[in-house]
Copies of this chain bind each other. A is one copy, B any other.
Amino acid sequence: MTHQTVGQPGLPDDPCANVVEPTPSCPVEITLAALHGRWTTLVIREFLHGGRTFTELRRALPALSDKVLSDRLAHLTAAGVLDRRRESGWPPRVHYTLTPHGRRLGPVLQALWDWGTEQLPSTETEGAPPTRGASSVI
């Protein structure tokens, strides 16, 4: 996405901050691409609690089909978020863990969470009913 936030120092004049169309090389796009797809963030959440095997994930997320779970794991592995390790022995098991890079998604998800829990301040036009608060989850 090629942004730079308000007055924030640190990314003063990155050339990417001026692109005029979506490009996969933009850092914001890279991150959004890593998080892209339904279920992806829920899968990552599971890993923030520790390593998991395919079956453990399937039990943790029963509504997620094998195919999509497989897709997500492959995608996250390719993105450098997960580390895939075949355990020797029988039955064959594959153990996934967050890479150090993947672990640093924690603050990113925290930022997403924080914004999502924020009340919509009634500063838009009138007084928006505060029914969209953070209290009613699921």
Give the residue of B14, B38, B138 whose beta carbon is less than 8 angstroms from that of A137: B14
- Determine the chain B residues whose CB is within 8 A of the CB of A101 once the complex forms: 118, 120-121, 123-124
Cβ-defined contact, A116 with B61, below 8 A? no
- Determine the chain B residues whose CB is within 8 A of the CB of A104 once the complex forms: 115, 118
Give the residue of B38, B41, B63, B138 whose beta carbon is less than 8 angstroms from that of A3: B41
* Interface status of A88 (Cβ within 8 A of chain B): no
Cβ-defined contact, B42 with A22, below 8 A? yes
Chain A: interface residue count, which band?
Answer: 35 or more
- Chain B residue nearest in CB terms to A62: B20
* Interface status of A94 (Cβ within 8 A of chain B): no
Chain A residues engaging chain B, CB cutoff 8 angstroms: 1-6, 8, 11, 14-17, 19-23, 25-32, 34-35, 38-39, 41-42, 44-45, 48, 60-64, 80, 83, 99-101, 103-118, 120-121, 123-125, 128, 132, 134, 136-138
